[in-house]
Amino acid sequence: MPRYKIDRSGLGQRVNKLREQKSIRVGGYTLYRLAKDARVNYAQLHRIIRGKSAPSRDSLIRICRALGCSREEIADIFACTEYREPDEKELEDRYVAA
């Protein structure tokens, strides 16, 4: 399996900024709620936000979907990685496995 370069701190900052923006819009969107919505382990998500861990491509797609990211926000998040940006089909809920 190839190793991808990931700017972990930049990625975590971008994801947390989007979570905070959603929290303002919907009122109290916590890390716990994001982990549940994205079907990602809370401890893993916490490490991602803090720049201590790198998510898999599928996990990152689920996080973007849970945050309701626009195409520009997805491009910004995936710019921190060498992962290929997801296409529309991959952003559909039923495509990415948990």
pLDDT at position 28: 87
What pLDDT score does 2 carry?
53
Q: Which fold has domain 8-91?
A: 434 Repressor (Amino-terminal Domain) (1.10.260)
pLDDT in tens, the chain (98 residues): 556 677 887 899 999 999 999 988 888 899 999 999 999 999 999 999 998 988 999 999 999 999 999 999 999 999 988 899 998 888 876 555 54
CB 75 within 8 A of CB 85: yes
DSSP state at residue 6: B
